[in-house]
Chains A and B, each alone.
Chain A
Amino acid sequence: MNVILEAQNVVFAYENEDVEARNAVENVSLSIERGSFVAILGQNGSGKSTLAKLFNGILLPLEGKILVDGMDTTHEDQLINIRKRVGMVFQNPDNQLVATVVEEDVAFAPENLGVPTNEIRLRVDKALDVVGMREYAHHAPHQLSGGQKQRVAIAGILAMGPECIIFDESTAMLDPRGREEIMETIRHLNRVEQKTIVLITHYMEEAALADRVVVIHDGTIRLDGKPEEVFRHQNELYSIGLSLPQATDLIARLEESGLYPELQGKTALTEEEAAVLLESILK
């Protein structure tokens, strides 16, 4: 099939430091299809970020294999090709911007790749357009809000021309508006720009927007499916330190109470869905 990222029985543990012991990955197999939007959910220390770093060769598996578009991440000569294809956006926007001017930062990756001067210009402008930051091209990063910085970071990845972008808790440090900006951008990248999206998060509201949710705990995959399927396992989710979005939670509790038989087998992922469900029943 058309798989872009694949983990085959991957095992990974950090050396000696017991601090990182929790972030290990144990025997994970997972394949992610081209063009899909997958959320990887898990609490802090569950191994979700480790998995992300394995997917573009920042970390290498101790056992098993990671294939990116068929290329093995342990083959060093393929590493640049892998990183070109799979971009990563991290948590702290300040720690991933390298230049003192926005457009120069976006140009960083294509410059590294030896792209001809004229084409860099085109790529930078296009990338800034996609994230809606063109008018800030000449600003300094520290003049921008958190959400804007993160959009610049995304543009910097887009300028490499990746097929897949992994967001490693990229919204965790943002305020609600910044988080919305980034989620908006991510949906645009997936639907309009046809990028494969892997979103690592512990915000259930964000995971609800994905096509597929993979729940990871203690380095193993616990749940995997469409958000409405995964969110039905509320007890399991609670037991591993996650929670449901309030709208989903409300519908689930009402269903469980037995007073609302109409809700049997129904799930709401967003407030709109909850409102529509309740409206049809209460009317």
Chain B
Amino acid sequence: MISITLEHVSYAYSPNTPLEKEALRDVSVTITGGKITGLIGHTGSGKSTFAQMLNGLLRPTSGKIFLGNQDIWAEPKKISQIRYRVGMVFQYPEHQLFEETVYKDIAYGPINMGKQGKELDFLIRSAAEFVGLSEELLDKSPFELSGGQQRRVAIAGVLAMDPEVLVLDEPAAGLDPRGRDEILGNIRTYQQTKSKTVILISHSMEDMARYSDELIVLKDSTLLLKGSLKEVFQQADIIKDAGLRLPQVTRVMLALKKKGLDVDTSVYTVEDAFKRLTDRRRSSC
């Protein structure tokens, strides 16, 4: 259950040129180990840059990043070791598939790490199982699968490296409601059974409410808020200011409150709202 700490981290694209573009400014935050931390912010707020710094794909222009107690850039030549420990699933990860079979594609990462034999086979099969890929799919070509299945293969390819930290950038983008629930549910199960540290990027506040424990809010390249789901969602004005919307069911409750009704607005899922409203009815009867 390893945590990640950012200390005064800034990042600029094309530094010291006329095209310099600041993507993150002086961000200091700790990502708690063993939890799902949601990373939210409007497009262009610096989320992707933030994510890509966690596994050393981008190097901070200034500031330090610690994986546990280790400065990840202490030895730049060994940055690939960090990449094995912090797994990264990009947006539309199915676009990275290239092998002849699903099995071989999932094997790519662990083989690069030097895994072999029984251990390799175990890693591949357990990763496939976590994302709900059945055995008979393993020998198929990944290009024959449906988009949703390809997505699972790509995620399994990162899980198979058995990273201590898993970063996922919009893992459910473009999927239908069932596909979304399945993939995010798989990630939740994976995180809980293996007590991993997970960072989840999503635009859907409804998904965040269901799947994340803590939230980090970015706005205009800076850190706006960090805290538990409730702590962050309670700050409705700040969330709105960051160009984000609370879950629809919360908005319903906020609208009721605005109409002068005495309702609890700290509900973020339909189940919560249902419980509050039925309790209310029962107690008034």
The short answer to whether A and B are in direct contact, CB under 8 Å, is yes
A238 to chain B, nearest CB (A): 9
Indicate whether B8 reaches chain A with its CB closer than 8 angstroms: no
The segment from A54-62, A219-227, A245-253 that touches chain B is A245-253
Whether, in the assembled complex, A35 has its beta carbon less than 8 Å from a beta carbon of chain B, the answer is no
Q: Which of A67-75, A112-120, A274-282 contacts B (4 or more CB under 8 A)?
A: A274-282
- Which of A78-86, A131-139, A155-163, A169-177 sits within the interface? A169-177
Q: In the complex the two chains form, is A177's CB within 8 Å of B176's CB?
A: no
Q: Does A242 contact B (CB under 8 A)?
A: yes
Residues 235-283 (chain B) with a chain A CB within 8 angstroms: 243-245, 247-249, 251-252, 255-256, 259, 261, 263, 270, 273-274, 277-278, 280-282
- What's the nearest-Cβ distance from chain A to residue B46, in Å? 14
Q: Could you tell me the distance in whole angstroms from the C-beta of A30 to the nearest C-beta in chain B? A: 21
Is B177 engaged at the interface, CB distance under 8 Å to the other chain? yes
- Structural contact, A175 and B43, CB atoms closer than 8 A: yes
Q: Which secondary structure dominates chain B's binding surface?
A: helix
B146 touching A44 by the CB < 8 A rule?
yes
* Shortest beta-carbon distance from B151 to chain A in Å: 10
Cα A282 to Cα B146 with chains together (Å): 47
Contact A242-B42, Cβ < 8 Å, known A177-B243, A247-B252, A253-B274: no
Instruction: Knowing A22-B146, A145-B43, A250-B270, say if A43 contacts B179 (CB, 8 Å).
Output: yes
Q: Which residues of B contact A91 (CB under 8 A)?
A: 174
Residues on B with beta carbons closer than 8 Å to the beta carbon of A243:
177-178, 181
Query: Is B173 part of the binding interface, using a Cβ–Cβ cutoff of 8 Å?
Result: yes
Contact of A278 among B145, B244, B252 (CB under 8 A): B252
The answer to whether A43 and B256 touch (CB under 8 A), given A19-B146, A246-B248, A282-B263, is no
Contact A175 B256 (CB under 8 A): no
User: Is B42 a contact of A271 with CB atoms below 8 Å?
Assistant: no
- A18 interface contact, C-beta 8 A: yes
In the complex, residue of chain B having the shortest beta-carbon distance to the beta carbon of A237: B177
Q: Which of B144, B251, B263: most chain A CB closer than 10 A?
A: B251
Q: Please, how many angstroms separate the alpha-carbon atoms of A145 and B175 in the complex?
A: 21
Contact with A along B157-187 (1 / 0, CB 8 A): 0000000000000000111111101000000
Of the residues B177, B243, B247, contact of A202 by C-beta under 8 Å: B177
The reply to whether B255 and A272 form a contact with Cβ atoms under 8 Å apart is yes
Q: Is A257 close to B, CB under 8 A?
A: yes
For the complex formed, measure the closest distance between the CB of B206 and the CB atoms of chain A, giving whole angstroms.
6
Residues of the B chain whose Cβ atoms lie less than 8 Å from the Cβ of A245: 248
CB of B43 within 8 A of CB of A257, answer no
Identify which of B147, B148, B174 gathers the most chain A CB atoms within 10 Å of its CB. Answer: B174
Q: Which residue of B lies closest to A275 (CB)?
A: B255
A241 at the interface (CB under 8 A from B): yes
In the complex, what distance in Å separates the CA atom of A19 from the CA atom of B144?
6
- Give the chain B neighbours of A249 by CB distance below 8 A: 270
Question: When the two chains form their complex, are residues A254 and B278 in contact, meaning their CB atoms are under 8 A apart?
Answer: yes
Q: How many residues of B contact A (CB 8 A)?
A: 39
Q: What is the CA–CA distance of A173 and B277 in the complex, to the nearest angstrom?
A: 35
Residues of B within 8 Å of A272, CB to CB, are 255
Residues in A whose Cβ lies below 8 Å from that of B277? 250, 254, 260, 278
By the criterion CB–CB under 8 Å, are B245 and A176 in contact?
yes
| Nearest CB in chain B to that of A243: its residue | B177
CB contacts (< 8 Å) of A283 on chain B: these are 261
Residue of A nearest to B209 (CB): A246
- CB neighbours of A282 from chain B (8 A): 256, 261, 263, 280
B203 within 8 A of A: yes
Q: Which residues on the A side are within 8 Å of B175 (C-beta)?
A: 44
Contacts of A177 in B (CB 8 A): 42-43, 243
Known: A43-B179, A44-B179. A275 touches B259 (CB 8 A): yes
Minimum CB–CB distance for B143 against chain A, Å: 8
Give bound CA distance, A172 to B270, whole Å.
23
Residues of B within 8 A of A176 (CB): 203-204, 244-245
Residues of the B chain whose Cβ atoms lie less than 8 Å from the Cβ of A250: 249, 252, 270, 273-274, 277
Evaluate whether A275 and B252 lie within 8 angstroms (CB atoms) in the complex, with A19-B146, A44-B147 already known: yes
The answer on a CB contact under 8 Å between A44 and B270 is no
CB-CB nearest in chain A for B179: A44
**Interface hub of A91, A249, A250, A260 (most chain B Cβ within 10 A):** A250
Residues on the A chain within 8 Å of B261, using CB: 278-279, 282-283
| Cβ distance B181 to chain A, nearest Cβ, rounded Å | 8
Residues facing A in B207-228 (CB within 8 A) are none
- What 1/0 mask marks residues of chain A from 202 to 238 whose CB sits below 8 Å from any chain B CB? 1011000000000000000000000000000000000
Q: B247 to chain A: which residues have CB within 8 Å?
A: 246
Subset of 29 A-B contacts with CB under 8 Å: A43-B178, A44-B146, A44-B148, A145-B43, A146-B43, A173-B173, A175-B42, A175-B203, A176-B204, A177-B43, A177-B243, A204-B177, A241-B177, A241-B179, A242-B177, A242-B178, A246-B247, A246-B248, A246-B249, A250-B273, A253-B274, A254-B274, A254-B277, A260-B281, A271-B252, A271-B255, A274-B252, A275-B256, A278-B261
Query: Which 10 residue pairs spanning A and B have beta carbons closest together?
Result: A241-B178, A275-B255, A243-B177, A43-B176, A246-B248, A202-B176, A246-B249, A259-B281, A175-B43, A274-B252
